[in-house]
Chains A and B, each alone.
Chain A
Amino acid sequence: MFKGIMGLLAGACALAGPVMGQQPETQQVRAAVLRVDETRLPPISRLDLPPADLGFAGARLAIEDNDTTGRFMGQDFEAVEVTATPETAAAEMDKIIAGGIQFVVVLADDATTLALADQAGDRAMLLNARARGDTLRGADCRFNTIHVAPSHAMLTDALAQFLMWKNWPDWLLVHGSHPDDQALAAAWRRSAAKFGATIVEERVFTDTGGARATDSGHVQVQAQMPVFTQRAPDYDVLIAADESDIFAPYLPYLTWDPRPVAGSAGLVPRSWHPAMEAWGGTQYQNRFERMANRPIREEDYQAWLALRIVGEAATRTRSADPAELRQFILSDQFDVAGFKGQKLTVRDWDHQVRQPILLTTGVLTTSVSPQDQYLHQTSALDTLGIDRPETECSF
């Protein structure tokens, strides 16, 4: 059967009309996926253990998708997969560029993403598929970087809109003690001010090390969490800002007062969720799961979208020239579909990809922001994150 298909395909290429006729030779569009793995504790829940192919699996699906289209366009896509540590990342980036690749999907933390952007300079375009920091899109923005991953501000705005719609405007903000957690807490303060919520009190959950999920560790957690959250002023919802995955998953059902938890646990804003079914999502999940034999993660979706951006640009421009693709992606002509019910585009002021944000529980998508009642003069998606007038980015 496979051979039969290939036979038909060859025929398709030979006979194809307006699209194929202009492409006598196959164009090669090359990219790399650079994943920088930090040494860190295992996640609180073993359900969150990172799979070995995290991010790469999404990239492979994108290459499959791009190649299927490419057969009709005379284009062939490739993504080299590279893993590195924060120490070796710069050298790996140089190797990728030396190999002639000018599109690099980067899955790294904020500091490494920024360092890699500077390392690459004008030699390559980076597609940030993991780092969420607002500074990376603000004061530290770089012209050569497109942020496919949503920013902290987009995620917190998305949840804030929903909480205001729910009429839960009083928040108890609990944030971690690491710099990433504090950056996320800052995003929450900004969202509260933007949408009129009140942070009734802030508490810091200090990371003192500790044994985490030891055998029967839940006994201690059950004793600690109610105590930690007691004597709070009256509030509607507890917001956990725990980018470091130290405490947030412990909070639901263990707060002193009977209150819902949102943010880093409970109702969590995400770029993607494996239970998403709307807007063709079912087919996308099916294709991913059949290929990777596991449910999809956000990193996979973001890597997929990053390479689809490159693929879509190649299809629309009928070109494999990296300079031409880069120019097209950054132009107002560009848009791409990402199973979110509307076009995804790139903000020209900080190169952030505009996108709806899913508000998810463990098993479902509860809502999708922007919420209907938040209007905007150019795009409702710009009610999420840092808008043009407030950006600190200047290229």
Chain B
Amino acid sequence: MRHLLTLAAVLAAEPALANRVFVTNEKGNDVTVLDSETLEVIGTYPVGNRPRGITISPDGTELYVCASDDNLVRVFDPDTMEEMHTLPSGPDPELFVLHPSGNPLYVANEDDNLVTVVDVKTKQVLAEIPVGVEPEGMGVSPDGKIVINTSETTNMAHFIDTDTYQIVANVLVDSRPRFAEYNHDGTKLYVSAEIGGTVSVIDPATQAIIDKITFEVPGVLPEAIQPVGVRVTSDGKKVFVALGPSNRVAVIDGETDEVKDYLLVGQRVWQMAFTPDEKYLFTTNGNSNDVSVIDVAAEKVVKSVPVGQQPWGVVVAPN
């Protein structure tokens, strides 16, 4: 095990390690695949109707796509982009999160006020958990014990025990919570509120809101600042928040919760994903049909890459 970790550290330090970046195009019904080093488009592949949420297994062998209008999750071979099989997801799957072990998959069913738990090996539905109206954001604690679902019209973060499938806590946040993300040691949970214009910082142990991050961009109407996707570096020091139609990504100090900078990206930025070495952060810009590439260390946008129609979700292969 120790050898593996050392090896991983060496690999992570290797600069020229390319990963495949997968972007769902909601209106294009396809996925654009990019190379994370050359930042060139490798190809575009059909993936079913209204693809939104996208994730990949920890070993990088299975790519999962929420095909919202097909009411299922499609599973692809990330190398060939051939469809391997489908998973039952419940109606209108929008976003999902994999257990850190790679199984099961927790799916938000936006039209049905449910979170569906699916075993990705047996392809069986393990549970359906009733949550608030319009479930969307899905986060999982680093130890895999708690799954968070946010409901956009109920305005709550629901804490779900992954052993019992019971809701153990509900935290009321601001309007239209879109996304939930833990930091890597599980000491903070970030929940974005699109209409509220805030990110609530929650202590997972007490489920209390310990801080509320607000945003202000000179020359941008406050209504246009709509926080959606949230990503935290593995050292917990930098938090990136996609601010929707303000076309900015906020950079936040993970320790003080202060906003440090706003990076100008493409139009209507929603979701984001790091490369495994956290050199780059990719953002999906739904109205300009492109992906912005952020240099994480420099906190600069280095490139924008045109993808398909209305890019929604993004994931980077772990290997």
Could you tell me which A residues sit within 8 Å of B by CB distance?
1, 4-5, 8-9, 11-12, 15-20, 64-65, 68-69, 71-72, 280, 283, 286-287, 290, 315-316, 335-337, 341-343, 380
Contacts and interface: CB of A to CB of B under 8 A. Distances in A.
Nearest to A11: B166
Nearest to A18: B207
Nearest to A72: B170
Contacts of B159: 17
A315 B196 CA distance: 15
Nearest to B168: A15
A17 B170 contact: yes
Contacts of A341: 195, 223, 226, 245
Contacts of A68: 113, 130, 132-133, 151, 154
B158 interface: yes
Nearest to A65: B133
B153 interface: yes
B130 A337 contact: no
B156 A19 contact: yes
A1 B128 contact: yes
B252 to A, nearest CB: 22
Nearest to A338: B195
B20 interface: no
Interface in B187-210: 195-197, 206-208
Given A68-B113, A72-B158, A8 B130 contact: yes
A343 B206 CA distance: 29
Contacts of A286: 92, 111
Interface residues of B, number: 41
A19 B175 contact: no
A3 to B, nearest CB: 12
A331 B92 CA distance: 37
B152 interface: yes
Interface in B63-118: 92, 110-111, 113-114
Q: Most chain-A CB neighbours within 10 Å: which of B92, B156, B167?
A: B167
A22 to B, nearest CB: 11
Contact of A72 (B132, B196, B223, B226): B132
Nearest to A380: B221
A157 B206 CA distance: 48
A7 B159 CA distance: 17
A1 B129 CA distance: 11
Contact of B169 (A17, A290, A343, A380): A17
Nearest to B169: A17
Contacts of A71: 130
Given A4-B128, A69-B133, A337-B195, A19 B169 contact: yes
- Which of the listed residues A1, A68, A335, A336 has the most CB atoms from chain B within 10 Å of its own CB? A68
11 contacts: A5-B114, A8-B165, A16-B170, A18-B170, A18-B171, A18-B208, A19-B156, A68-B133, A69-B153, A336-B175, A380-B221
B167 A16 contact: yes
Contacts of B166: 8, 11-12, 15
B130 to A, nearest CB: 5
A382 to B, nearest CB: 12
